[in-house]
């Protein structure tokens, strides 16, 4: 297995006392487990604040999980001090929502790509307009002439292509993409999606693709994980989840992606408490008494398909 999250939880410090000690915590992830195989595209979808980005940052080691383990090729990277982590860094990379914020505005594209290549090749092997650099910039749909330009000279979609080229320079096995299309128009989104599919097919690189848009996730992913309030409530093959969603929250997301508006009564519970019940109880139109009495874990309902809902298990 390429990447495994095992019972991962993460909390942030919320309100503090007068003396600076934590008074409350915000529980961003609550006992999340999932696996990604080599070359697989796993989509993670849910509303803002559900823990998607925290999951991605825990997966790549930007933040440490409060509980649980993150394993990369069998190596535990939960602790950033782990001896094998530096050797693994180039194997997994991240592309963020705002490409301009992750690109050096004072550095030309050629220099950025050379800098990335220095991490995997000796400096003397790389020269101006190196063949590898030319291949990288052309692979993401840009030209050799764009190597001599700065990030501010490009559109949002072109900047994401540059960010992808820089990541691909490290020849990663997995790329975590955190809302990479949310700031782009529909036409540009489609162009970047096609590029991601082509790169996956050509290189075999896997993706952990994070988005709030189930339509986009459905167009790209092999499997999809639906998150709500820090928990995965449904996980399965994309075609099955989209054709016959079993969890009520997944049904709501799918309806919204199709332009249908479903009004949910109630408010989401506070993320400052760990619930001993289904987190969707306060808004679910199908709620029954036992939903309020105990938490529901992901249970198998088909091959590689799991859901955390009593109704779906009937």
Write the burial class of residue 217 (CB in 10 Å: 0-12 exposed, 13-18 middle, 19+ buried): buried
pLDDT value at residue 84: 45
pLDDT value at residue 62: 87
Checking if the pLDDT of 141 tops 80, the result is yes
> Per-residue pLDDT tens for 216-226?
999 999 999 99
The tokens describing 133, both together, are 């650099």
Distance CA 5, CA 1 (A): 11
Query: What is the full DSSP assignment across 158-213?
Result: HHHHHHHHHHHTT--SEEEEESTTTTS-HHHHHHHHHHHHHHHHHH--EEEEEES-
Question: What is residue 306's three-state secondary structure?
Answer: strand
> Per-residue pLDDT tens for 182-215?
878 889 999 999 999 999 999 999 999 999 988 8
Checking if the pLDDT of 14 tops 70, the result is yes
DSSP state of 265: P
pTM of model > 0.85? yes
What are the DSSP E strand ranges found in the chain? 3-13, 25-36, 41-45, 67-72, 75-76, 92-95, 174-178, 206-211, 223-228, 231-237, 299-302, 305-307
Distance CA 234, CA 50 (A): 13
pLDDT value at residue 264: 81
Distance CA 28, CA 9 (A): 7
Domain ranges of the chain: 3-106+172-313
C-alpha pair distances (Å), 224 with each of 36, 50, 115, 312: 11, 15, 34, 17
Residue 299 phi, psi (nearest 5): -120, 145
Residue 18: band (very low, low, confident or very high) from pLDDT cuts 50, 70, 90: low
Q: Looking at residues 86-113, what average pLDDT do you find?
A: 82
Cβ atoms within 10 Å of 96's Cβ, excluding its own? 18
Q: Looking at residues 48-75, what average pLDDT do you find?
A: 90
pLDDT value at residue 85: 53
- Positive or negative, the CA dihedral 79, 81, 87, 93 is positive
| High-pLDDT (> 90) share of the chain, % | 49
Checking if the pLDDT of 81 tops 50, the result is no
Residue 145: band (very low, low, confident or very high) from pLDDT cuts 50, 70, 90: very high
> Per-residue pLDDT tens for 165-190?
999 988 899 999 999 988 788 899 99
Question: What is residue 256's three-state secondary structure?
Answer: helix
End-to-end Cα, the chain, rounded Å: 31
The tokens describing 255, both together, are 């309806």
Q: State the DSSP H helix or E strand holding residue 257, giving kind and residue range, or none if neither.
A: helix 248-257
Q: Looking at residues 53-63, what average pLDDT do you find?
A: 91
What is the architecture of the domain spanning 3-106+172-313?
Answer: 3-Layer(aba) Sandwich (3.40)
Checking if the pLDDT of 124 tops 50, the result is no
Beta pairing partners, 211 = 45
Do β-strands 75-76 and 67-72 pair in parallel, antiparallel, or remain unpaired?
antiparallel
> Per-residue pLDDT tens for 229-265?
999 999 999 999 999 999 999 999 998 888 887 778 8
Whole-number mean pLDDT of the chain?
86
Q: Which residue has the higher pLDDT, 16 or 219?
A: 219
pLDDT value at residue 72: 87
> Per-residue pLDDT tens for 88-99?
667 889 998 887
pLDDT value at residue 276: 85
Scanning the structure block, which residue is given the tokens 């487990």? 33
Write the burial class of residue 193 (CB in 10 Å: 0-12 exposed, 13-18 middle, 19+ buried): middle
């Amino acid at each position: 297995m390429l990447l495994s999250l095992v019972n991962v939880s993460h909390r942030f410090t919320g309100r503090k006392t007068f003396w600076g000690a934590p008074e409350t915590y915000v529980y961003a992830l609550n006992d999340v487990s999932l696996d990604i195989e080599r070359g697989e595209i796993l989509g993670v979808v849910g509303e803002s604040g559900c823990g998607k980005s925290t999951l991605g940052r825990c997966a790549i080691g930007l933040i440490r999980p409060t509980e649980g383990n993150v394993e990369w090729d069998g190596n535990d990277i939960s602790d950033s001090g782990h001896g094998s982590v530096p050797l693994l860094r180039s194997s997994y990379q991240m592309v963020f929502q705002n490409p301009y914020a992750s690109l050096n505005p004072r550095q030309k594209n050629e220099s950025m790509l050379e800098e990335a290549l220095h991490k995997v090749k000796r400096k003397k092997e790389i020269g101006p307009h190196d063949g590898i650099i030319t291949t990288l910039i052309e692979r993401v749909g840009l030209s050799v002439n764009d190597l001599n330009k700065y990030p501010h000279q490009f559109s949002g979609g072109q900047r994401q292509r540059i960010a992808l080229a820089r990541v691909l320079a490290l020849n990663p096995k997995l790329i975590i993409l955190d809302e990479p299309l949310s700031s782009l128009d529909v036409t540009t989104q489609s162009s970047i999606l096609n590029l991601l599919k082509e790169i996956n097919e050509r290189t075999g690189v896997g993706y952990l693709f994070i988005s709030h848009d189930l339509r986009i996730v459905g167009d790209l992913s092999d499997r999809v994980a639906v998150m709500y309030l820090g928990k995965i409530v449904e996980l399965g093959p994309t075609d099955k989840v989209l054709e016959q969603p079993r969890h009520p929250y997944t049904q709501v997301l799918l309806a919204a992606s199709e332009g249908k508006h479903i009004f949910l009564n109630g408010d989401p519970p506070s993320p400052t408490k760990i619930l001993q019940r289904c987190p969707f109880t306060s808004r679910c139109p199908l709620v029954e008494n036992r939903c309020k009495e105990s938490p529901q874990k992901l249970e198998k309902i088909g091959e590689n398909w799991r859901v955390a809902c009593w109704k779906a298990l009937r």
